[in-house]
Amino acid sequence: MRLDQYLKETRIIKRRTIAKQMCDEGFVFVNSKKAKASYEVKIGDEIEIYFKQKKSKYIVEEIPKKGTRKNEAGNYYTMKGEEYYE
């Protein structure tokens, strides 16, 4: 599954267009490397996302199918941590 699609399906980022834009602008890293939206996500990947006021880390546990329900979205990753900054 593409990275932008994974971020949308797991509800880490609400819209795929925003996920793609964040990847294109260099705010998303996979395994400590800048990632393109087209990157194929694999189980065990470590995703780091730089939002406006925080950095979040996630570990991919499972690849979801299209149309994931909201209450199931959190089952596909483990949050490794958040770091807030100004």
The arrangement of secondary structure in 3-84, i.e. its CATH architecture, is Roll (3.10)
- In this prediction, residue 83 has a pLDDT band, given cuts at 50, 70 and 90, of very high
Comparison of pLDDT for 70 and 48, the residue scoring more: 48
Closest to 68 in 3D by CA, of 15, 8, 16, 14: 8
Per-residue pLDDT at 78 exceeds 90 = yes
Sheet containing 28-30: give its strands across.
33-34, 28-30, 46-50, 54-60, 77-84
Query: 3-state class of 75 per DSSP?
Result: helix
Q: What is the pLDDT of residues 31-62, one digit of tens each?
A: 999 999 999 999 999 999 999 999 999 999 99
Residues in the chain, how many?
86
Binned at pLDDT 50, 70 and 90, residue 86 comes out as confident
Q: Where do the domains of the chain lie?
A: 3-84
Whole-prediction pTM: 0.91
Confidence of residue 66 (pLDDT cuts 50, 70, 90): confident
